[in-house]
Chains A and B, each alone.
Chain A
Amino acid sequence: MSQIKAAPKEISRPPKSFDVGSWLVPIIAVLVAMTLAAILIKLQGSNPITAYKSLFKTAFGSAAGIGATLGKSTPLVLSGLAVAVGLRAGLFNIGAQGQLLSGALAAAWAGVSFHGLPGFIHIPIALIIGAFFGSIVAGISGYLKAYRGVHEVITTIMLNSIVMGVADYLASHPLREPDQFLTRTSEIQPSAKMPVYAHLPLGFFIAVALAAVIWWILGRTTSGFRIETVGRNRHAAWYAGISVKRTVISAMLASGAIAGLGGAVETLGITYRYAPAFNLGLGFDGITIALLGRVHPLGIIPGAILIGGMRAGAANMQFDSGVAPELVDLLMALILLLVTAPLITRFFKGNSNKAMTSGWGN
């Protein structure tokens, strides 16, 4: 007869989601990727040990360094979270970059344009505005997917470029810093700058808190159930009374809002203005971080810190060892390749009921 265990706390997840063994995979992937990259560095004529040492020392070796790391990690946590939320619904939001950019620009505008507001009002307003614009961009892809069956992979990537172009235009004409030749907005008001406590940026804690909230929503609420179900079997979801169209759009809106928030945090907390090309490639990072963290809202955080640290230390690494900062991009690509081979086969087994590889023309 059946032996039924007492109900564990996490009954809405398959039992194996917390076995330590499977969390080894990302760690091994990172180590192997670093080794492979080290070989490439050697071939280029530089010293990989020096490079890595410099990279990590800058990132984690001092309070200021950690602060910079967390600062760079924040938009990574948020874009990873954005991609993860999309993936949970079976959607491939590669547009986190564009959504992030629009959030960054919108927040910059909000940061510049509102005068005389106290910090604790100005900052949340700017953040919300950033999130809002991010969700609009994602919402376009979501709508096209839900109502026209257009696959979001292409629309989100196209929108990335479209947003970049539009943002570039806006930052060089209407929103440009007056009397400057550079394409960028003015610096935001002091009231909009996000505070830093002993080197630790507020934005990071907001991101972590948001990750925890998302985790709770996915696991414990009916909205989260809708998203998860649509992502796993949209036919059964429809049959269960879940509006697949609405869930797809909601998931994309949420995903875009999170990415937009990431951009807003970057503007209000680090750059204090919008200048193009400051966060190229952050959107693709979201995918790597989401998959590295096994698409788990909390699992994303360590990966984001690692990558953020590497980015924080990249400039110094170039200075100390001559290795280009783009090494980090290469590392991320390798990590992604390594982490997906065994991992993804288990999580995303090729299954025609899933929303992901479908929607091509149906």
Chain B
Amino acid sequence: MTKRNGYFLFVALATAYFYSKDGDVTSSVYATGAAFALPLALAAMVGIMCERTGIVNIGIEGTMLLSAFVAFFVSSLTKNIMIGLICAIFTGAMMGLILAVMAVAWRMDQIIAGTIINILATGLTSFLYVQGRTIPSVFQAIEVPVLSKIPFFGPVLFIHGPLTFFGIFIILALYVAIYHTSWGLRSRAVGEHPSSADTAGVSVVRLRYINVTIAGAIGALAGSYLSLELVGSFERGFTAGKGFTALALMIFGRWNPLGALGAALFFGLAQAYSNQLMIDQVVNIPTQFTAILPYVMTIVVLTISAGKVRPPAAEGQPYEKGQA
């Protein structure tokens, strides 16, 4: 029995146990867990797309924050959440492009570049924030016919908003693309050994620009999900570190979309459980401590995986043409 199978078995048994105790609550906890997990998973996808191509993206948090902001405020101004969504995605792509310019064209240290994105996002959202605005509605949950009636799995997997389904699609599509398409092969080559890709005729620079920009759009999807589907509002500091947690999940998931998804689900579930325990007053912990739980968990996740995993070999290093 491998470690990973052991975890699954444990989770499955625990789930079955709780379900037998109280089916409705368990279903709702898991559904909540899935909802918490989605933005994390999508944000991890951003990290994966960038790092697989060799660019370290610390600015996921800022991308999500600014996109969530744009999504919310444009929606409230235009009274149309689709327009808000589209503007947000555009914003995310722009931020990805800016990061690409800093990292590829200017050869800036990528951690600094990502930090700049974060600070810019924080600065802009703080300055432009206006209290009291509202949006007409959130993206409503869709019930998939037939499947959503399955006990337990139905509510957990098949009743979600459109952005969630779209997000899941993107995660699966990314997995297939990375390992089974030309684009995936070339991107991976660029991230592991860019000069090999270059001599094989692949444009390292162009691929990095494209991937990082698209990744930014995915980050915007994650942010928009938060403000337009999950919560329906926006505040300063709204994303609360999710962009950084996503990096930890990416590392823990070994830069594999499905691995990161699994890690995100686990994380989301843990949060949903702890919320439930709070509500049931099973444990009495001051709110501040539950609030910091995700941050502590992120550090723990990172500490466990660091040193044992192997990132894409060329990540973080600007590429010079003609290097052997």
Contacts and interface: CB of A to CB of B under 8 A. Distances in A.
> In the complex, are there CB atoms of A and B closer than 8 Å?
yes
Interface in B5-57: 56
A340 B112 contact: yes
B119 A332 contact: yes
B122 A361 contact: no
B78 interface: no
Contacts of B296: 158, 162
Nearest to A87: B112
Contact of A345 (B108, B111, B244, B298): B108
B196 interface: no
Most chain B CB inside 10 Å of its own CB: which residue of A144, A169, A172: A169
22 contacts: A144-B302, A149-B307, A154-B299, A158-B299, A159-B299, A161-B292, A162-B295, A326-B127, A326-B129, A327-B127, A329-B123, A333-B120, A337-B120, A340-B112, A340-B116, A345-B108, A348-B108, A348-B112, A360-B251, A360-B311, A360-B315, A361-B307
Most chain B CB inside 10 Å of its own CB: which residue of A168, A324, A350, A352: A350
Contacts of A169: 286, 288-289
A341 B108 contact: yes
A161 B294 CA distance: 10
Interface string B115-152: 11011101110110100000000000000000000000
Interface string B237-249: 0001100100110
Most chain B CB inside 10 Å of its own CB: which residue of A144, A326, A358: A326
A361 B295 CA distance: 19
A357 interface: yes
Given A154-B248, A288-B119, A348-B109, A329 B126 contact: yes
Given A161-B240, A334-B123, A352-B317, 10 more contacts: A94-B115, A150-B302, A162-B292, A166-B288, A329-B122, A336-B116, A336-B120, A340-B112, A357-B109, A357-B316
Contact of A357 (B111, B247, B292, B299): B111
Interface string B307-320: 11111000111100
Contacts of B247: 154
B119 A284 contact: yes
B269 to A, nearest CB: 20
A334 B123 CA distance: 9
B198 to A, nearest CB: 16
A165 interface: yes
Contact of B295 (A94, A161, A358): A161
Interface string B267-290: 000000000000000000010110
A360 B296 CA distance: 18
A333 B128 CA distance: 13
B127 A330 contact: yes
Given A150-B306, A344-B109, A361-B305, A168 B116 contact: no
Nearest to A343: B108
Interface residues of A, number: 53
A166 B292 contact: yes
Interface residues of B, number: 50
B108 A361 contact: no
B199 interface: no
A150 B300 CA distance: 10
A159 B244 CA distance: 12
A105 to B, nearest CB: 13
A166 B288 CA distance: 7
B295 to A, nearest CB: 4
Contact of A344 (B112, B127, B248, B291): B112
B292 A350 contact: no
B293 to A, nearest CB: 9
Interface in B97-113: 102, 106-113
Contacts of A331: 123
A155 interface: yes
A278 to B, nearest CB: 15
B78 to A, nearest CB: 18
B295 A356 contact: no
A149 B251 CA distance: 12
A166 B296 CA distance: 12
A157 B310 CA distance: 23
Contacts of A330: 123-124, 126-127
Contact of A165 (B102, B123, B127, B288): B288
A360 B56 contact: yes
B288 to A, nearest CB: 4
Given A149-B307, A150-B302, A166-B292, A350 B317 contact: yes
Contact of A333 (B113, B124, B292): B124
A153 interface: yes
B164 to A, nearest CB: 26
Interface string A133-160: 0000000000010001111011101110
Interface in A16-57: 40
